[in-house]
Chain A
Amino acid sequence: MTTIRRFCCNDLLRFTSVNLDHLTETFNMSFYMTYLARWPDYFHVAEGPGNRIMGYIMGKVEGQGESWHGHVTAVTVAPEYRRQQLAKKLMNLLEEISDKIDKAYFVDLFVRASNTPAIKMYEKLGYIIYRRVLRYYSGEEDGLDMRKALSRDVDKKSIIPLKRPITPDELEYD
């Protein structure tokens, strides 16, 4: 029972129960607002009965040439609404927008190498581990760069895994 709509500023005042979860980062305001100002189509919220916020996804589209891609910056679901495939629905929406509206080649995301439950979930959604980014998280933990090819990448070139891990300064985009 999900109304998925664009995220708006007031949702920042209502997503408390989602963000108090320790795995969900609460960014600074300019971070959220930059995403809203630049990529409003990539920032969606799911609402349940009683206008309760069930979860949300934020992302962007960037890159050049064949690296033009959608990026998932954060996706999160409140504990009360877990195990209902909501994350999948939100991810599918972002993939669809990347694919249909922005004609991107792939969608990617970063995940903590230790976050096994999330990695498993993304794999189920068709993402593969493209490469490892050494000490990506605060210079400590490794991150995994996971990707899923979209229809424009006919040969699925974007998802051929890289053999060696890279360091954060080798990343093309933040």
Chain B
Amino acid sequence: MASKFGLAGGIPERRVRPIWDAIDSRQFKNALKLSASLLAKYPSSPYALALKALILERMGKPEEALSVCSSAKELLYKNDTFLMDDLTLSTLQIVFQRLDHLDLARSCYEYACGKFPNNLELMMGLFNCYVREYSFVKQQQTAIKMYKLVGEERFLLWAVCSIQLQVFCGNGGEKLLLLAEGLLKKHVASHSLHEPEALIVYISVLEQQAKYGDALEILSGKLGSLFVIEVDRLRIQGRLLARAGDYSDAANIFQKILELSPDDWECFLHYLGCLLEDDTNWCNGVPNDPILPSKHMDCKLSHLKEELFDSRMSDASEFVQKLQAGTSDNTLRCPYLANLEVERRKHLYGKGDDDKLMDALMQYFFRFGHLACFTSDVEVFLEVLTPDKKTEFLEKLKKGSESLSTVPTKVLGQSITILKVQEVVGKMYKLSKSELEGSAVQMVELYCRNLPLSKDLDPQESMHGEELLSMACNVLVQLFWRTRHLGYFIEAIMILEFGLTIRRYVWQYKVLLLHLYSLMGALSSAYECYKSLDAKNILMETVSHHILPQMLVSPLWVDLNNLLKDYLKFMDDHFRESADLTFLAYRHRNYSKVIEFVQFKQQLQHSNQYLVARVEAPILHLKQNADNIEEEERVLESLKCGIQFIELSNEIGSKSLTFNEDLQSRPWWTPTSEKNYLLGPFEGISFFPRENMTTEREANVRRVIERKSLLPRMIYLSIRSASALLKENIEVNGSLSDPKTSSELKFLLERYAKLLGFSLSDSIEVVLGVSSGIKPSSTIDSDLIDWLNFAVFLNAWNLSSHELAQPNLDGYKAGSWHIVDSLLEKYISEKVRSMDPLICSPWVDLPILVQLVSEPLAWHGLVLQSCLRSSLPSGKRKKKGGPDSTSPPFHAIRESIQSSCGTIEDVMKWLREQINRPEDENLETTLSFLQGKGQNEGPGQVFKIVETFASSINDTELGDWISQAVKCWSPVDVARKIVTGKCTVLSEFLQMCGSKMKLLQALKQQIAQV
């Protein structure tokens, strides 16, 4: 092989090194120069060419790079005397990969391996190529060849992993596992195994075939000693026994683990499950949802006879007592929580004793009541209690805490716990308005009073009692929901901002604020909150649901563009590099990670959010460029005229979707981005379960993607269709009217209509009916934007097909132009009129107004542009035989432009009124919501506490940094944040309308000149 010492790709290393150095230091021009002289000396060296290609690719010249690379490849193939070294091949591979030509890279390696069949290095390179292409079968074949060649354990495991991948991530049948098992068995018999990871894979292959006995035998044999950490081995053993249905042995094993690590909660649940012969955890291979594991510890009602059940439970209790007695570590929660679980199981069996459960809860409280995690620890146990018992427990807690501790931080912790339990058991929803106010007051007072406890903490550390402000915010928002009094809402914003003034790192406050600002319409302030979360990399997948849905319907296009761009880049980068990381796992013999990585990539690839972003990003570009038809056509061209998206729309129905968002961090009033309780009337629900709404969300996302991904193509076809309108007048035979465009657009209109739940003719009836006032305007309220888009595309289609103008449609004469004009005018003006004039009220309707302007009105603008462009005399035909400006189509266009102008003008007028209102006045209005009318009820109570506290701070008591921070507190600044947050949105919207107006004016002039 060529990798002889001192040679690089057959060229002396000293000649190549300067090129490498230049590339490494990003001096590509210099590198290219050096490469030219190298090529002069070695004109037919594939390596020299590969280097040149690498440099060109780095310089951003992909086409040249590809052509040079291909020449290098040809040279490799042509001349048999050339050496096939891994350096040349891997350099070519890098370039081909960066140029998205994995297939070409692979074929180089395939060729090389064919030439030198027993070269391990080349075979590994080829294996790597297959890993990159996710060709599991080819991977398996190559690995087996390598294994046969050198007999190494690792290559066998590569083959086994490739088999497992076929079964779990490809379309291989489970029978293949038998083959993997056979390979392993044979190897073990002759060579044994030497790495714990290999053993893990061996056991998993057996487990996947339900051969638990065989797996256990191996584990207890000599190979078992590969696990250095005893607990690791025991965990597998316990799992295998339980799966095999040998519950009593499994329970013993789990007991052993607990003796070694008494805080292992999961293990305790397994132990108890096995005692009760409950197979919930074991029967299905995959533990429910890996991302959203069930919060409720699933278990089956035990089928055991009562006597046996009693004796098993008493065994469990006895063991728990032993665990408790055996530990001196007072941070171990498991042995104490175990008591609660034992009582809960008795409850489920029908032999529960509320008093005992409450007693166990109290015991847990005495020990751990001061911890921030107390409430989430016991939540599932509280659910077992009846509402009355819950109240009783709450009373007990209050009494019990009085005599507990004297350490101030613990006292505070317990007080917070009691308030949290009150929240969790649903007590808050039964309180009267004034009791709720009292509760919020109590929380904020407690927070302020205990601030001195944190004075010696580092400002970066979380402070004592921080969660109190989040809890108070929750109460205030509930008060708002009940009373619709905006004061509570603004008060909630105020206290969270107060908290952030003291410590600006509390992400929980930021998330709450983000949602409060969003609902207020102060979206740019919400976006600032989001940015301050610094949600980068994988957090974009799990956290951006907080802001993305609002941004998608906002006029903040620049920010939205950044949001989408960063997110898509992150995801696409990962998809590109994931296979290389998988190969890294192969190389380092961490086989169990191989399958994990491939599955994880699939998990992200099916992300519903990713698919939405992939559709929304181009739609945003279409919106941004809609006022300039040439620019729009360039965008469409880059989108292959929307064809790809039609494919997405076709296949989305059968695609499995994943939901990776972290919904736990969402506030109670909006548990998913589709749901917001505050938009509806107050419901007397006592508890907001974060139930798994995946099915509902899945259907919703599919619907959205299916519709939206039709848009680019429909816009493209509409532009084409509209261009036929006036051209037809020029061409005598009308041959420019493209029948294909017309029929495709009709087909898509039919689909669009179907997605709205109607046939094409019925939906035409609907838009006709609504536009002429025969049908009530509420008919299309629920899918308003889609309906108006439909009307716009319908008109465009009609311009070339004229099907609508036929008299069979109820003798309707005014034509499809009129439908669009009147619908746009009707809904936009309606929205403008219904908009709340107050600067500090929630704006629920604004996003709809923004969408009306940025979608149907914009697409209609494109139709107008296209019509007029085609009417312009071009080249030779100057003036001769130009279109007749008095003809009916011209008349309709003129009217439509006029109508759109009027509609936009309405919006702009309203926007200007809002924006031009003096800031002082806005601030005053906002703050006035917090001024109580001298009574001790209504909004403003909590705010008053903060105000009083801030105006009477005691420097020595609070310490330097806290008192300095409190001094910076300014409610006016917060009010300004609300007001400017809104005004920014309005200004952006005004700008968008301004651009449309400019376009319409230009069109007006154009048509006047025809």
Chain A residues near B (Cβ < 8 Å): 1-4, 8-10, 12-14, 16-17, 19-23, 26-30, 32-34, 36-38, 40, 47-52, 79-85, 97, 100-101, 115-117
On whether the beta carbons of A36 and B585 are closer than 8 Å, the reply is yes
**In the assembled complex, which residues on chain B have CB atoms less than 8 Å from the CB atom of A27?**
537
23 contacts between A and B (CB under 8 A): A1-B332, A2-B264, A2-B265, A9-B596, A13-B542, A14-B291, A16-B665, A20-B533, A26-B539, A29-B581, A30-B577, A37-B588, A37-B593, A38-B584, A47-B265, A48-B265, A49-B377, A49-B380, A50-B293, A51-B295, A83-B371, A101-B228, A117-B458
Chain B residues near A (Cβ < 8 Å): 228-229, 261, 263-267, 290-291, 293-295, 297, 331-334, 337, 371-373, 376-377, 379-380, 457-458, 460-462, 466, 505, 507, 533-539, 541-543, 570, 573-574, 577-578, 581-582, 584-585, 588, 590, 592-593, 596-597, 599-600, 603, 660, 662, 664-665
Nearest B residue to A52, CB-CB:
B376
On whether the beta carbons of A50 and B542 are closer than 8 Å, the reply is no
On whether the beta carbons of A1 and B265 are closer than 8 Å, the reply is yes
The residue that A81 contacts in the complex, of B291, B373, B533, with Cβ under 8 A, is B373
A48 to chain B, nearest CB (A): 7
Between B263, B266, B373, B534, the greatest number of chain A beta carbons within 10 A of the residue's beta carbon is seen for B373
**In the assembled complex, which residues on chain B have CB atoms less than 8 Å from the CB atom of A97?**
229
B330 to chain A, nearest CB (A): 10
* A111–B582 alpha-carbon span in the complex (Å): 30
* A8–B458 alpha-carbon span in the complex (Å): 32
On whether the beta carbons of B538 and A49 are closer than 8 Å, the reply is no
Nearest B residue to A97, CB-CB:
B229
Nearest B residue to A46, CB-CB:
B263
Nearest B residue to A9, CB-CB:
B600
B405 to chain A, nearest CB (A): 14
Between A20, A26, A101, the greatest number of chain B beta carbons within 10 A of the residue's beta carbon is seen for A20
User: 13 more A-B contacts (CB under 8 A) besides A1-B333, A9-B599, A85-B331?
Assistant: A1-B332, A1-B337, A3-B264, A3-B266, A22-B460, A26-B536, A29-B574, A29-B581, A33-B581, A34-B581, A36-B590, A36-B597, A115-B458
Question: Contacts A20-B535, A37-B581: A51 and B293 contacting too (C-beta < 8 A)?
Answer: yes
**In the assembled complex, which residues on chain A have CB atoms less than 8 Å from the CB atom of B584?**
33-34, 37-38
On whether the beta carbons of B331 and A84 are closer than 8 Å, the reply is yes
On whether the beta carbons of B543 and A20 are closer than 8 Å, the reply is yes
* A71–B233 alpha-carbon span in the complex (Å): 25
On whether the beta carbons of B538 and A26 are closer than 8 Å, the reply is yes
On whether the beta carbons of B377 and A1 are closer than 8 Å, the reply is yes
On whether the beta carbons of B265 and A40 are closer than 8 Å, the reply is no
Between B267, B333, B537, the greatest number of chain A beta carbons within 10 A of the residue's beta carbon is seen for B537
* A10–B599 alpha-carbon span in the complex (Å): 9
Question: Contacts A20-B533, A100-B228: A13 and B538 contacting too (C-beta < 8 A)?
Answer: yes
* A19–B539 alpha-carbon span in the complex (Å): 8
A155 to chain B, nearest CB (A): 26
**In the assembled complex, which residues on chain B have CB atoms less than 8 Å from the CB atom of A50?**
293, 295, 297, 376, 379-380
A59 to chain B, nearest CB (A): 15
Nearest A residue to B340, CB-CB:
A49
On whether the beta carbons of A49 and B337 are closer than 8 Å, the reply is yes
B97 to chain A, nearest CB (A): 15
B11 to chain A, nearest CB (A): 31
B689 to chain A, nearest CB (A): 13
**In the assembled complex, which residues on chain B have CB atoms less than 8 Å from the CB atom of A32?**
538
On whether the beta carbons of B592 and A40 are closer than 8 Å, the reply is yes
On whether the beta carbons of B265 and A80 are closer than 8 Å, the reply is no
**In the assembled complex, which residues on chain B have CB atoms less than 8 Å from the CB atom of A48?**
265, 373, 376-377
B231 to chain A, nearest CB (A): 9
On whether the beta carbons of B507 and A20 are closer than 8 Å, the reply is yes
* A92–B331 alpha-carbon span in the complex (Å): 15
B419 to chain A, nearest CB (A): 15
On whether the beta carbons of B543 and A16 are closer than 8 Å, the reply is yes
* A20–B371 alpha-carbon span in the complex (Å): 20
* A27–B592 alpha-carbon span in the complex (Å): 22
**In the assembled complex, which residues on chain A have CB atoms less than 8 Å from the CB atom of B578?**
29, 33
On whether the beta carbons of B539 and A21 are closer than 8 Å, the reply is no
On whether the beta carbons of A1 and B539 are closer than 8 Å, the reply is no
Question: Contacts A1-B265, A80-B373: A38 and B291 contacting too (C-beta < 8 A)?
Answer: no
On whether the beta carbons of A22 and B534 are closer than 8 Å, the reply is yes
Between A13, A51, A52, the greatest number of chain B beta carbons within 10 A of the residue's beta carbon is seen for A13
**In the assembled complex, which residues on chain A have CB atoms less than 8 Å from the CB atom of B228?**
100-101
The 5 A-B residue pairs with the shortest CB-CB distance in the complex, in nearest-first order: A9-B600, A51-B293, A1-B333, A37-B585, A16-B662
**In the assembled complex, which residues on chain A have CB atoms less than 8 Å from the CB atom of B592?**
40
* A28–B333 alpha-carbon span in the complex (Å): 34
* A85–B371 alpha-carbon span in the complex (Å): 12
A95 to chain B, nearest CB (A): 13
* A161–B388 alpha-carbon span in the complex (Å): 63
B751 to chain A, nearest CB (A): 34
**In the assembled complex, which residues on chain A have CB atoms less than 8 Å from the CB atom of B662?**
13-14, 16-17
B158 to chain A, nearest CB (A): 14
**In the assembled complex, which residues on chain B have CB atoms less than 8 Å from the CB atom of A81?**
372-373
Between B266, B294, B664, the greatest number of chain A beta carbons within 10 A of the residue's beta carbon is seen for B266
Nearest B residue to A84, CB-CB:
B331
The residue that B376 contacts in the complex, of A10, A14, A80, A84, with Cβ under 8 A, is A80
A43 to chain B, nearest CB (A): 10
A53 to chain B, nearest CB (A): 10
Between A1, A12, A29, the greatest number of chain B beta carbons within 10 A of the residue's beta carbon is seen for A1
B244 to chain A, nearest CB (A): 22
**In the assembled complex, which residues on chain A have CB atoms less than 8 Å from the CB atom of B373?**
48, 80-81, 84
On whether the beta carbons of A79 and B603 are closer than 8 Å, the reply is no
**In the assembled complex, which residues on chain B have CB atoms less than 8 Å from the CB atom of A22?**
460, 505, 507, 534
* A21–B461 alpha-carbon span in the complex (Å): 10
The residue that A13 contacts in the complex, of B291, B371, B457, with Cβ under 8 A, is B291
B220 to chain A, nearest CB (A): 21
**In the assembled complex, which residues on chain B have CB atoms less than 8 Å from the CB atom of A117?**
457-458, 460-461
**In the assembled complex, which residues on chain B have CB atoms less than 8 Å from the CB atom of A20?**
507, 533, 535, 539, 543, 665
**In the assembled complex, which residues on chain A have CB atoms less than 8 Å from the CB atom of B261?**
4
* A80–B333 alpha-carbon span in the complex (Å): 14
**In the assembled complex, which residues on chain B have CB atoms less than 8 Å from the CB atom of A84?**
331, 371, 373
* A40–B334 alpha-carbon span in the complex (Å): 26
On whether the beta carbons of A13 and B660 are closer than 8 Å, the reply is yes
On whether the beta carbons of A29 and B538 are closer than 8 Å, the reply is yes
**In the assembled complex, which residues on chain A have CB atoms less than 8 Å from the CB atom of B599?**
9
**In the assembled complex, which residues on chain A have CB atoms less than 8 Å from the CB atom of B376?**
48-50, 52, 80
A99 to chain B, nearest CB (A): 11
Nearest B residue to A33, CB-CB:
B581
* A29–B597 alpha-carbon span in the complex (Å): 11
B230 to chain A, nearest CB (A): 11
**In the assembled complex, which residues on chain A have CB atoms less than 8 Å from the CB atom of B585?**
36-37
B128 to chain A, nearest CB (A): 14
**In the assembled complex, which residues on chain A have CB atoms less than 8 Å from the CB atom of B543?**
16, 20
**In the assembled complex, which residues on chain B have CB atoms less than 8 Å from the CB atom of A36?**
585, 590, 593, 596-597
Nearest B residue to A81, CB-CB:
B373
* A21–B295 alpha-carbon span in the complex (Å): 23
Nearest A residue to B293, CB-CB:
A51
Nearest A residue to B261, CB-CB:
A4
**In the assembled complex, which residues on chain B have CB atoms less than 8 Å from the CB atom of A29?**
537-538, 570, 573-574, 577-578, 581
The residue that A12 contacts in the complex, of B331, B372, B538, with Cβ under 8 A, is B538
* A17–B543 alpha-carbon span in the complex (Å): 10
On whether the beta carbons of A33 and B665 are closer than 8 Å, the reply is no
On whether the beta carbons of A10 and B290 are closer than 8 Å, the reply is yes
Nearest A residue to B228, CB-CB:
A101
On whether the beta carbons of B263 and A2 are closer than 8 Å, the reply is yes
**In the assembled complex, which residues on chain A have CB atoms less than 8 Å from the CB atom of B461?**
117
Nearest B residue to A50, CB-CB:
B295
On whether the beta carbons of B265 and A116 are closer than 8 Å, the reply is no
**In the assembled complex, which residues on chain A have CB atoms less than 8 Å from the CB atom of B539?**
16, 19-20, 26
* A38–B586 alpha-carbon span in the complex (Å): 9
* A81–B376 alpha-carbon span in the complex (Å): 11
**In the assembled complex, which residues on chain B have CB atoms less than 8 Å from the CB atom of A38?**
584, 588, 590
